[in-house]
A = this chain, B = another copy of it.
Amino acid sequence: VRCIFFYDELSQYVDSHQEEYVQTLRDWVAVESDSSDVLRRPDCHRMMDMTAEKLQAMGGKVELVDIGVQELPDGKTVALPKVVTAQFGSDPNKQTVCVYGHVDVQPAKLEDGWATEPYNLTDINGHLYGRGASDNKAPVLAWIHTVEAYQALSIDLPVNVKFIIEGMEETGSNGLDAMIVAQKDTFFSDVDYIIISDCGWLSRRPALTYGTRGNCYFFAEVEGPKQDLHSGVYGGTVIEPMTDLIGILDTLISPSGKILIPGIREAVAPLSDEEWKMYQDIEFDIESFKSKIGVSQLMYSNKVDLLAHRWRYPTVTIHGIEGAFSGPGSKTVIPAKVIAKFSIRQVPNMDPAVVKKQVTDYLYSVFAKRKSPNKLKVTMIIGAKPWLADTKHPLYEAGKAAVKRVFDVEPDLIREGGTIPIAKTFEDVTGKSIIMMPIGGFDDGLHSQNEKMSRYNYIEGTKLFIAYLHEVAHLKKD
């Protein structure tokens, strides 16, 4: 295929439309599409409508897919935000990529410690502050503007581009798995590759993400007396559930971060020399990482250990305890039933089903040694698998070429410590290859106060996507 790539024209077009792109992002951020708050559900619906209208106005073949209702704790139901699908081009001779993104956001209130109104996009020194700016509205818009730029310059899209945009990502993507399964042989049938831009760089250097950790989330409930008791009146006579719970939680992990549950560490894929070298080459400043999170010392003091434990080793976090006293001040209560919440991040070659058994068996055996009359119940409520791509896959080679063209550097090849379960679903259901191509900055503050998207990342990121479509067009069809 002879191919002329009008990268400079496209790039100039993007530069000259920067203010328009920022304005569109401002309009999108203004919609408080917080999917965790049912009272904000009308905003979520409006956000999906706006997304669909935008894609429709560009001539896409757009659908708003009904994915049913959400059950609320009180038994009532509320409609889920519809999923937007869109298609630009259907040339069977071209590759077809499908871009996944989401336009719902985490909660945000000025009182949480924001310096600016979270839903009023505010430019401070080229940083665009606003909830959802980086996660994930600007990346979704960058993909839309990519298609728009090709259209505006009447340049044929080098690949067919599909979109799947959801509005429930921040609260667990309810209904999306079923929708993907249902459309496996329709919408997804001609998709060659799936692109996800729902993460960030590790440093100021662009990155390609090739792995995410999974997560097994556990509840450990210890139940004793039939009701909370006064610690003065009953303390010393009852075997307190809280003491039992603290006792078993303390056997999960050592002070130096070693997981003590038998079998967990043994399952982990060994770190290869090649991987070690990859980590060694990554740009990562431990000092700025430390000062960003405000600690004087990390679990590991060298880059490779630190990155490896962030991305490719499991970790145990104890999130908290339900049922115990948690307010300010003092209360002299013996809690009758306490439920610890902890999770274990999953990496290759761990299997959530095996982890469930390892954790459960271990905690029951540790608890049995206490000879407590209280009742322990361990349940795993989430079992999300890790995802790992091959960085030598042509998709990643194309990504490296695109980064090289736009930024004139090699990208960092990184993983995410967090879990993006939809990647594993796409892989398992559609069997397609996936690439994660972030454009957000390392300091964008996703899920935190003062989330931002920098103009630089937003605009150069759009160019990256433009270049990437060109590179993908040159891949041999599977």
Give the chain B neighbours of A295 by CB distance below 8 A: 224-225, 238-239, 373-374
Decide if A64 is an interface residue (CB 8 Å cutoff).
no
Give Cα distance in the complex from A101 to B293, angstroms.
53
Say yes or no: A318 contacts B242, CB within 8 Å. Answer: yes
A319 part of interface (Cβ distance < 8 Å) = yes
B345 near A315: Cβ-Cβ < 8 Å: no
Mark each residue of chain A from 227 to 243: 1 if its CB lies under 8 Å from any CB of chain B, else 0: 10111111111111011
List residues of A (226-283) whose CB comes within 8 Å of B's CBs. Answer: 226-227, 229-240, 242-244, 246-247, 249-250, 253, 255-257
Q: CB within 8 Å of B: which of A61-96? A: none
Given the complex, which residues of B lie within 8 Å of A419, measured CB to CB? Answer: 232
| Pairwise interchain contact B232-A215, C-beta atoms closer than 8 A | yes
Assess whether A388 is interfacial by the CB under 8 Å rule.
no
Interface stretch (choices A145-153, A323-331, A349-357, A431-439): A323-331
Verify A417–B321 contact, CB threshold 8 A. no
**One of A46-54, A160-168, A297-305, A470-478 contacting the partner:** A297-305
Q: Which of A235, A297, A315 counts the most B-chain CB atoms under 10 A from its CB?
A: A235
Q: Are B315 and A321 in contact (CB under 8 A)?
A: no
Given contacts A297-B373, A330-B382, A417-B232, contact A255 B246 (CB under 8 A): no
A215 to B330, CA, bound (A): 12
- The CA-CA distance from A419 to B225 in the complex, in Å, is 21
* Smallest Cβ-Cβ distance to A255: which chain B residue: B370
A296: Cβ under 8 A from any B Cβ: yes
Q: Is A183 an interface residue (CB 8 A)?
A: no
B345 and A319 within 8 A (CB)? no
Tell me the A residues contacting B by CB distance below 8 Å: 213, 215, 217, 224-227, 229-240, 242-244, 246-247, 249-250, 253, 255-257, 289, 293-300, 306, 309-310, 313-322, 324-328, 330-335, 341, 343, 345, 369-374, 381-382, 416-419, 446-449
A-B residue pairs in contact (CB < 8 Å), sample of 5? A227-B449, A235-B417, A237-B289, A243-B316, A317-B332
